Amino acid sequence: MPSPQETLHQVFGYEQFRDEQEGIIQHLISGGDALVLMPTGSGKSLCYQIPSMLRSGVGIIVSPLIALMKNQVDRLLQMGVRAAFLNSSLDFQSQRKVEIQMQRSELDLLYVAPERLMTESFLRLLEKTPLALFAIDEAHCVSQWGHDFRPEYLQLTILHERFPKIPRIALTATADLPTRKEIAEKLQLQNAKLFLTSFDRPNIRYHVELKENSRHQLLQWIQGGHEKHSGIVYCLSRKKTEKIAEFLQKKGFKALPYHAGLDSEVRNLNQERFLNEEGMIMVATIAFGMGIDKPDVRFVAHLDLPKSLEAYFQETGRAGRDGLPADAWMTYGLGDVITMKKMISESAADEKRKRVELQKLNSLLGFCETTVCRRQVLLKYFGEERNESCGNCDTCLEPIETWEGTVAAQKAISCVFRSGERFGANHLIDILLGENNRRVEQFRHDRLSTFGIGKEYVFSQWHSVFRQLVAMDLLTADLDGFGSLKITEKARPILKGEKKIFFRKDPEPKKRERIKTRLPKPTLADFDFQEPESQKLWEELRSCRLELARKQGVPPYMIFHDSTLKELVCRRPQTLEEFSHISGVGEFKLKTYGEDFLEVVKKYPAGTAEKIPTVASSNDSASGLSDTASDTLDLIREGKTPEQIAALRQLKLNTIYNHLAEAIQHRQLNVEEILSLPIGEVRHIENTMLSLQENQPGMKPVFEAYQGKYEYGILHCVRAGLLARER
Ligand code: ADP
Ligand code: ZN
């Protein structure tokens, strides 16, 4: 039997396991049960795929979505893994065929829908089949509180009762504690080993923008670097998805709507197109999402507030599964808060549930209004404490100022009180500003004691105050649907002056423009190449991939991910042997596609590549590299690690890293080549550098920002990589 490591390498073409993957796999292989909580895109599927392949018998994967099953199976088939699925989309004959394959042990993995699994006939069939394991994917579907609840999932305990010896693994990307507990209880996995990894998605950059003209803002956002990318735009209503899709189409984008009210044929077609075509924008309600594991979604935008931080995390998590930089962007304003509160109060749910939902909304608003690192707030919600700021969210990149607004808050709240808690923010602001308009006169509000007491601020500032008071739950929206504001219990200490209050200073619109242009452009796959030759090769590789994908009717990323193509451009392998070392190239894909891609790459001589060790020119001194750095570089090319070189040359490890930094800056070496950090982490450090260097030059602030997690030498290499790209 091959080892998990060998399988990872030969079948999937990956070098190393991530985080807990190996531990989970070992645990299952030795027959244990597991409950796995890992964020979207972190590589959950490998955790059951490899044990299914290595244990004898077939692994049964329970999955809630038909589209998801087909996608997973197609992917496995691309790698030469024996996989199939069983669900209502197959005709009778195909179903029989799969069942026979299964009984003859001709399959390593079988994906089934839960309702199918639960039929007596299928359970009997399972009893006659050698089984490797049961995997329950999207296990949060068992949670009655969650929005993906599937009643069939509750019956899955049958598996445990009827097949007590077969190991089970339940997986989910939903992290909150109550759901976790519910999964363990409902699936009888209390004794399973819990595997929990960090929920951080370092390659996703979070932004929240104040809503002014959201369409226009969205357009600007997309045009600021995402013109050619796949993305998802979430809206609250079905109608809005259609309108926004149409708007984007008119502006020249490939955009499609998706919501539960569309004809199922149209819906499937739109989904297929999103998965298969490049640069497609899906404008959707939350009906779209679960199981969309397209790796190269480059942005997720929210034009309306999601329901909770969990929902936000799930939805934004669909961006950047491939680990390359991606954006999560949201516009939000007072109107959204009022709409959401109204929706919750008017829903048919019982009081307890409404309270839970309001609490969740409040946490989300806290995230929107935060003045500290957004990632800290997000992770804290999932129980992870972070001390350092991330350097990759809007509040880190452009710190938010605060102001003490106790008096302003008192004025605003009294104004709500004096006018009888019957009016919305705009009218209240008119009173505060002392506007003598018709409505003010009609209600004789010019006689209120709060009339004209707020002239020290302008309209937009007061608007910001009211929005934040609502977000802090000091004011709340009434159920009348007109946005009237009422005072909550929590406002009392403020009115009495017992508690100070701080507001965030909203950036002025003009300033916001400036921020956007100053932000480092996302260093995305297709922007990365300096040499025109590389760009040409990249385009050619992409069309080669597209052609192969079309022939088979699968999405391009199933052939190779962008990250694999990118590596091909940089490394320019000239033989199949060299080709096999590229990440994402397993044995089967090498056999199937190696020649096709090699033929393209060979047209571009290695010497003209972006400079990296294997293909760099032999004359280093001509490139301005110092002799001692050259010596280090030679040793790196012999395959030595920096630690080995330090020992060999009797130099400090940091010195070796400084040599490497020099080589990187001279583009003799790629930063990814020598640092064993995931690309997301490298980008993370880069972003921190870019955001810090503005105010504090030097490396010390960066070193401290990570509390010494990365040695100076490593930081120097990362910075050299940045400089090399700027050249
Ligand atoms: P999840 O189910 O957790 O959302 P997936 O299983 O779809 O994530 O994996 C996300 C992506 O990461 C996939 O493209 C997968 O091939 C890739 N991946 C998984 N494990 C590794 C690894 N050890 N090294 C490199 N890439 C990996
Ligand atoms: Zn941050």
pLDDT tens per residue, range 184-229: 999 999 999 999 988 899 999 999 999 888 999 999 999 988 988 9
Atom of ligand 1 nearest to the CA of 47: 6
Kind plus residue range of the DSSP H or E element containing 61: strand 58-62
In this prediction, what percent of the chain has a pLDDT beyond 90?
Answer: 50
- Which residue's alpha carbon is nearest to atom 6 within ligand 1? 43
Question: Residue 692: what pLDDT?
Answer: 76
CA of 41 to the centre of ligand 1 (A): 6
Single-letter residue type at 357: E
Is pLDDT of 653 > 90? Answer: no
Weakest mean pLDDT among 236-250, 324-338, 409-423, 665-679: 665-679
Is pLDDT of 621 > 60? Answer: no
- In sequence order, the β-bridge partners of residue 170 are 35, 136
In this predicted model, which residue has the larger pLDDT, 393 or 41?
393
Q: Over range 665-694, report the average pLDDT.
A: 77
Residues 529 and 544 sit within 8 Å (Cβ to Cβ): no
Q: Which protein residues touch ligand 1 with a CB less than 6 Å away?
A: 14, 16-18, 21, 38, 40-46, 293, 295, 321
The confidence band for 695, taking pLDDT boundaries of 50, 70 and 90, is low
- In sequence order, the β-bridge partners of residue 487 are 475
Residues 343 and 361 sit within 8 Å (Cβ to Cβ): no
Question: Residue 560: what pLDDT?
Answer: 93
Q: How far apart are CA 293 and CA 319, in angstroms?
A: 9
Q: Over range 282-289, report the average pLDDT.
A: 90
Is pLDDT of 697 > 70? Answer: no
Question: Residue 545: what pLDDT?
Answer: 93
CA of 110 to the centre of ligand 1 (A): 19
CA of 68 to the centre of ligand 1 (A): 15
- Which residue's alpha carbon is nearest to atom 20 within ligand 1? 43
Is pLDDT of 623 > 70? Answer: no
Question: Residue 726: what pLDDT?
Answer: 62
This prediction has a pTM of: 0.71
The confidence band for 720, taking pLDDT boundaries of 50, 70 and 90, is confident
- Which residue's alpha carbon is nearest to atom 21 within ligand 1? 43
CA of 333 to the centre of ligand 2 (A): 21
Long-range contacts made by residues 598-605, C-beta under 8 angstroms, separation at least 24?
598/573, 598/574, 600/537, 600/540, 600/541, 600/544, 601/537, 601/541, 601/568, 601/572, 601/573, 601/574, 602/574, 603/537, 603/540, 604/533, 604/536, 604/537, 604/572, 605/572
Which is nearest to 232 in space by CA: 174, 282, 305?
Answer: 282
The confidence band for 291, taking pLDDT boundaries of 50, 70 and 90, is low
- Which residue's alpha carbon is nearest to atom 16 within ligand 1? 43
Question: Residue 175: what pLDDT?
Answer: 64
The confidence band for 509, taking pLDDT boundaries of 50, 70 and 90, is low
CA of 321 to the centre of ligand 1 (A): 8
CA of 688 to the centre of ligand 2 (A): 9
Average pLDDT, the chain: 87
CA of 395 to the centre of ligand 2 (A): 6
Q: Which ligand is nearest to the CA of 46?
A: 1
CA distances from 497 to 164, 429, 454, 494, 597 (A): 63, 22, 18, 5, 71
Question: Residue 682: what pLDDT?
Answer: 83
Q: What is the DSSP pairing of strand 193-196 with strand 58-62?
A: unpaired
Is pLDDT of 376 > 90? Answer: yes
- Which residue's alpha carbon is nearest to atom 18 within ligand 1? 43
In this predicted model, which residue has the larger pLDDT, 243 or 228?
243
The confidence band for 448, taking pLDDT boundaries of 50, 70 and 90, is very high
- In sequence order, the β-bridge partners of residue 258 are 284
Question: Residue 514: what pLDDT?
Answer: 43
CA angle 122, 43, 146 (to 5 degrees): 65
Atom of ligand 1 nearest to the CA of 583: 25
* Residue from 293, 589, 679 to probe ligand 1 pocket by mutation (most atoms less than 8 Å from CB): 293
Question: Residue 517: what pLDDT?
Answer: 37
Atom of ligand 1 nearest to the CA of 16: 23
Atom of ligand 1 nearest to the CA of 75: 16
Q: Which ligand is nearest to the CA of 392?
A: 2
CA angle 470, 476, 478 (to 5 degrees): 140
Atom of ligand 1 nearest to the CA of 44: 3
Residues 687 and 520 sit within 8 Å (Cβ to Cβ): yes
Tell me, what DSSP letter sits at residue 393? B
CA of 315 to the centre of ligand 2 (A): 19
CA of 93 to the centre of ligand 1 (A): 33
Atom of ligand 1 nearest to the CA of 18: 23
Q: Over range 139-158, report the average pLDDT.
A: 86
